[in-house]
Structure 1
Amino acid sequence: MDSQAFLRQNETYEDFYNRCNNLSNFDCSEEEMLWWIMGSRRLPLKEIIPISLVLVIIFLTGVIGNVCVCVVIIRNPGLHTATNYYLFSLAVSDLLLLLFGLPNDLTVYWHQYPYSLGLVFCKLRALISEAATYVSVLTISAFTLERYLAICHPLHLYAMAGLTRASRIILVLWVVAFVCASPFAMYSDISYRDYPPNSGNISLDSAFCALMASSPLLELSSIFFFFVPAILILCLYVTMGCHIRSTRMNKKSKGLLNGQIHGETRQAKSRKAIIRMLVAVVIAFFVCWTPFHVQRLFYIYGYSLPQFHVINEHLFNVAGALYYVSATVNPILYNVMSAR
């Protein structure tokens, strides 16, 4: 529904703006006020139908793919390795993100307000969605560090080897993720608008589940669970690449000096295949998550820009789609890049 539906006879948009925005001469119905402040209850069908189709496809492929990853790893003892334990953890966090986040967001596209799922689900959804994203980035950081030790410090990794160690690390990552995400649940609440404004009489139709805190939770989340891990992971992979290159050059020079040239061993090829797959997972993760964190920060710091609402709407749609694509793409990468 657009503003034309609320214009009275012979009324201009400027007149509508004045009577709904002027508190001293307020003359708006409750429905008009809610549209003015919160927008339409539902997006236009020409937008919502294609968005819904995309989200349903993402949901189905993501859930089926990640369930298959978990089942394959559980049922095959040969796949019980430290790296695959991390990938199992990543698949579980992606499942949580899809199950608790995507259906709720799809519902909001069709019915933005009033919120009707209750305070418990409002807080639970905030906790699990945020924690799942933290688990994903921490897991990716952990298996990147694991590969770094295997390549650059193999003796050190051998001394720490064992599936029990990997399981304990994963458990710690989940605990850390939920502890750090708990403020989002604490400060998420169902907000209401007053009608008339500043009257103290809440409008039940304005109910909306949102983060209420004025503290810098969003900024801290982006810094410590996106930008810092991104820099760490980039540094680790650059170091690994340099180490592999120098090792290869040394082996080539030794082989030429000894008059021997050998092809790559099966172990070396397997190691390169694992690295390629993990690099693809890391790249996909950060490509999908960068727009999400950019949109979060833009929402906080870009409000004064003239085109804020237009830019934020486009950023929100792109970031929202990629947000869930990140939870769907990993099983596809495993299938394409790893025969196992």
Structure 2
Amino acid sequence: MEIYQEVLSTELIRDSSIFNYTDVASFCIDRNFTYTPSYLYTNFETVNILIILPLLLFLAILTNLVFIIVVARAPRMRTTTNIYLVSLALADLLYTIIGITEKLHAYIRSPIYFDSAYSLDLWCAVMPLLKNAGLFASMFLVTVFSYERYEAVCHPLTKHSLSSKRRALKHITIACVLALILAATTVPAFANRVVACLKKLAEDEHSDIPDTIILCTPVKQRFELYNDFVQTLPFFLVMIFSNAAYVLIIIEIRGSARDAKLKRADSSRVIQESINITRMLIVNGVVFFILMAPFHILSLSGVISSIITGEYLLSEEAFRWIIQVVRVLAYCNAVVDPVIYSAVNPSYRKAMYQVICSLHILRRKRSNSFGTYSMSYLLTERDRRPSNVNETIT
């Protein structure tokens, strides 16, 4: 963060629309913004960007696509609950894919760690817009899903009369539109694409050091503070609301479990299925907040320190190390969600096993020219029931 203030405080920045690229060498040689080795990626950043982040990207795409395919191919999995989970998976994928590919692009194009390396002005606005849209959509969808489960557990009669896939799609659409609008308000914090020059000394060992670097800077400095604030505030509001809903849900479930012991087995089974889904939601929500909290706490500390002291509390070196760690944790969220679905809820494991087996048999039958078989070959009569059956528990 300090490096942006240093760059902005000099006269080395020129708007990309008027900068004369043909005279880069003569322009840079008289300037005092001098390259230093501290501008290069550290070993930790290199390992993180080239190994850890691509691995997380691969796992996020794999696990979420498997989950989406299972929901799409297993009829009994097409429930209201899974509509929310699929939309959450897509939001997580958007945030993860944009965030990680952005880091990989910058690393490949330039050895300078704060060089955005965007060739077009448009990218400085589009990439943050899409990434923040995915981030806000995840927050809002977690909130809506928490409220839906609260209604399903604590007010089941109301839930039964109001719940439907159409209602779920309406809530998801509203959440995504609000996320996109809120993300659009953060674009001025990055939309000013500028070109800065680096003065290199003759003894510099790195021949690949560029003469110019690209920075996506705020249109006005106050927009950078606004971006940190608007990213942080919704997260903590969502966390408070969702955790309150989780507490009320747990209290209600304990009471329902005691009552189930006095009722017939069918009632107990229905309650147990509802408990499985609710347990999955709570575990998923808690993990979401644990993994995302460090990122938002870091942003909040930056907002508070900027308001109080006018500068960041962390040194440049400490900030660079911490931001790599909190990014990894944030991107891990997209990886662990589908794992939680399978680990906590037995119905997901069963459906996944059936879909994988059906696809395997289908491939074998096709290769042997015996014709094609649909996945319903492996589904039991119970699994063929319409998804709206027992909708009150899903």
* TM-score, normalised with respect to structure 2: 0.69
Amino acid at match of 1:172: I
Deviations 1:292-333 (A, max 9, x none): 111222333446466532332232111111121112211121
DSSP-derived class of the 2:186 partner:
helix
Shift, 1:239, TM fit = 0.9
Shift, 1:217, TM fit = 3.0
CA change 1:307–1:251 in 2 (3 A) is closer
Unaligned runs of 5+ in 2: 1-8, 12-27, 200-209, 349-394
Per the alignment, residue 339 of structure 2 pairs with 332
**137, 141, 144: which is aligned to 1:142?**
144
Shift, 1:43, TM fit = 0.6
Per the alignment, residue 168 of structure 2 pairs with 166
**214, 226, 247: which is aligned to 1:238?**
247
Unaligned runs of 5+ in 1: 1-20, 197-202
Shift, 1:261, TM fit = 9.4
**94, 97, 102: which is aligned to 2:95?**
97
Shift, 1:119, TM fit = 1.8
DSSP-derived class of the 1:191 partner:
strand
Amino acid at match of 1:75: R
Identity of aligned residues (%): 23
Q: Give distance in 2, aligned partners of 1:308 and 1:289.
A: 22
CA change 1:30–1:335 in 2 (3 A) is farther
Amino acid at match of 1:119: D
Deviations 1:100-138 (A, max 9, x none): 221111333453326234222221111110010111111
Q: Give distance in 2, aligned partners of 1:46 and 1:179.
A: 35
Quick check: 1:222 aligned with 2:229? Answer: no
DSSP-derived class of the 1:319 partner:
helix
Verify the 8 A CA contact 1:135 1:173 in the aligned structure 2. yes
CA change 1:272–1:101 in 2 (3 A) is same
CA change 1:121–1:233 in 2 (3 A) is same
Per the alignment, residue 392 of structure 2 pairs with none
CA change 1:31–1:250 in 2 (3 A) is farther
Q: Give distance in 2, aligned partners of 1:114 and 1:144.
A: 37
Amino acid at match of 2:165: L
Shift, 1:206, TM fit = 3.2
Shift, 1:221, TM fit = 2.6
**242, 247, 270: which is aligned to 1:267?**
270
Deviations 1:238-268 (A, max 9, x none): 111122223444566xx4xxxx897982212
Per the alignment, residue 366 of structure 2 pairs with none
Shift, 1:82, TM fit = 1.1
Per the alignment, residue 17 of structure 1 pairs with none
Higher relative contact order (CA 8 A, sep 6+): 2
Per the alignment, residue 290 of structure 1 pairs with 293
**179-188 vs 164-173, which moves further:** 179-188
* TM-score, normalised with respect to structure 1: 0.79
Deviations 1:146-190 (A, max 9, x none): 110011111111121211111111111111110111122244221
Runs of 4+ deviating beyond 6 Å: 260-264
**302, 319, 322: which is aligned to 1:312?**
319
Deviations 1:66-113 (A, max 9, x none): 112222212222111111000000111112112222111133345332
Q: Give distance in 1, aligned partners of 2:313 and 2:187.
A: 32
Q: Give distance in 2, aligned partners of 1:106 and 1:320.
A: 13
Kindly report which structure 2 residues correspond to 1:1-340, keeping only aligned pairs within 5 A, or say none.
33-35=33-35, 39-40=38-39, 42-45=40-43, 47-110=45-108, 111=110, 112=113, 113=115, 115-189=117-191, 190-193=193-196, 205-213=212-220, 214-215=222-223, 216-224=226-234, 226-249=235-258, 255=262, 265-302=268-305, 304=311, 307-339=314-346, 340=348
